[in-house]
Amino acid sequence: MRVSIVSLGTLLLPLVSSQASSGPDKDGKYWIYGEGLTAAFIPYGASISNLFINDRYGIRRDIVAGFDNASYYGIDKQHPHFGGVPGRYANRIKNSSFEIDGVTYHIPANENPTPDHPDGVDTLHGGPNGWDWRNFTVVSHTNNSITFSIVDPDGEMGFPGEVVSYITYTLGNMTWDLKMVAIPTTKKTPIMLSSHTYWNLDGFANNETDLVLNHTFYMPYSGQRVGVDNILIPTGDILANQPGSVNDFWSAPKQIGSSFGDPEIQGNCGFNCSGYDTCWLVNREQYGPYDWRADGGFVARLQSAWSGIQLDVYSDQEAFQMYSCNGQNGSMALKNTQGLSKGPRTIPKYGCVVLEVEDWIDAINQPEWQRASKQIYEPGGDPYVLQASYRFSINTTDTPY
């Protein structure tokens, strides 16, 4: 562990837990407990690996995707970013480059390969050795919380300067709280983090459909979204989500699959892709100053009438990505804690949904958006901070289908 962390301690979190840690189980997982929730985390990507909650019938469900053991995360070749923290810069970076103070930085590409660019033409989730490809250090582990840290060296994945980060997860009474802090110690650098959890609120055990297209989704502040090209790189345009259109989840809640009959869904998530991999803006300032934990409530709500499980996402972030698992194709196995005993024990296309609290994607390449203060951090300045609270409940208003 680097000494540089110590001087940051007062700002952040206890460096050493005063409570005894039980350490990882035989599968390398660290368990924490709340009222009504139990979760397991692993050092690889500071990822959530299991999240147990009882459904409307009192049946225990594991509602996040992952692997059965911590050692497999680094072995699996598909690397779906299961439940981790993408960093130091989440989502896509156009042309794998950005400019700070007149200096252009080129970073490794890892998406959309072409004959001319066999590694790709853009950088996804911090590059081929982004944060969620590395084991974090467990600095604290108590009955209801775990804190991970990472020291990302100067020049790693082409990014300028060292960044030190702490990720804390806490379970409460049907709540999972996230706090992420990151500090550049030597140079000005872009930072944008997120949590990349794959949800299926039926625990992949719905005996009528193995898809999430019947999950209801609602983002009351998201009348606008980031316009993208056919490889999902922002064009700079901010688009309106007209009521009733494919990307309208703000005017009223609707099922994720309810616009799949609309021709506009085709190409909505890139070339030849039907579904969602979309960054919506979260516009709350229009109502004046707010406390993200209380005023105005959640920025996103996901519900399944089948299980009755409802997830309300509260966050201080000003954008929100939803990905409807368009890229899954049955090649990822379920954990032994989920699914039905019969049928394929794998994740199908549209079998899960990723919800990502984040800032406006690739704003480092869109200076006209004027978001430098939310994306570029420097030693001595404010730290990068992301906070979110996932609040669970059982809602049986809707009849199960």
Ligand X SMILES: *[C@@H]1O[C@H](CO)[C@@H](O)[C@H](O)[C@H]1NC(C)=O
Q: Which residues of the shown chain bind ligand X in the complex (CB under 6 A)?
A: 28, 33-35, 42-44, 57, 59, 67-72, 74, 78, 95, 97, 106, 135, 143-144, 173, 207-209, 214, 216, 253, 255, 272, 303, 310, 327, 329, 331, 333, 393, 395, 397-398, 401
Cβ-based nearer residue to ligand X, 138 or 183: 138
Cβ-based nearer residue to ligand X, 272 or 373: 272
Cβ-based nearer residue to ligand X, 10 or 104: 104
Cβ-based nearer residue to ligand X, 9 or 267: 267
Buried/exposed 118-138: b ≥16 CB within 10 Å, e otherwise:
eebbbbbbbbbebbbbbbbeb
Q: Least distance to ligand X from the beta carbon of 270, Å?
A: 11
Q: Least distance to ligand X from the beta carbon of 398, Å?
A: 6
Which residues, in sequence order, are CB contacts of 266 under 8 Å at separation 6+?
274
Q: Which of 167, 130, 216, 192 is nearest to 317 (CA)?
A: 192
> Taking a C-beta distance cutoff of 8 angstroms, is the pair 89, 126 a contact?
yes
Select which of 111, 156, 356, 358 is catalytic: 356
Cβ-based nearer residue to ligand X, 68 or 154: 68
Cβ-based nearer residue to ligand X, 9 or 74: 74
Q: How many CB atoms lie within 10 A of CB 25?
A: 12
> Taking a C-beta distance cutoff of 8 angstroms, is the pair 184, 81 a contact?
no
Tell me, yes or no, if 196 is annotated catalytic: yes
> Taking a C-beta distance cutoff of 8 angstroms, is the pair 149, 4 a contact?
no
Which residues, in sequence order, are CB contacts of 325 under 8 Å at separation 6+?
198, 212, 275, 347, 349, 350, 351, 352, 353, 354
Q: Least distance to ligand X from the beta carbon of 78, Å?
A: 5
Tell me, yes or no, if 79 is annotated catalytic: no
> What is the Cβ-side half-sphere exposure of residue 110, based on CA atoms within 13 angstroms?
18
> Taking a C-beta distance cutoff of 8 angstroms, is the pair 28, 70 a contact?
yes
Select which of 81, 125, 141, 196 is catalytic: 196
Q: Least distance to ligand X from the beta carbon of 108, Å?
A: 10
Alpha helices in 79-180 (DSSP H): none
Q: Least distance to ligand X from the beta carbon of 153, Å?
A: 15
List the beta bridge partners of residue 309.
Answer: 394
Q: Least distance to ligand X from the beta carbon of 268, Å?
A: 13
Handedness of CA 201, 313, 225, 286 (dihedral sign): positive
Which residues, in sequence order, are CB contacts of 5 under 8 Å at separation 6+?
15, 149, 151, 164
* Token code pair at residue 231: 């490889």
Q: Least distance to ligand X from the beta carbon of 217, Å?
A: 10
Q: How far is CA 100 from CA 226, 279, 378, 388, in A?
A: 22, 24, 11, 29
The helix (run of H) or strand (run of E) holding residue 357 is strand 353-358
Cβ-based nearer residue to ligand X, 42 or 352: 42
Active-site residues, by number, are 196, 356
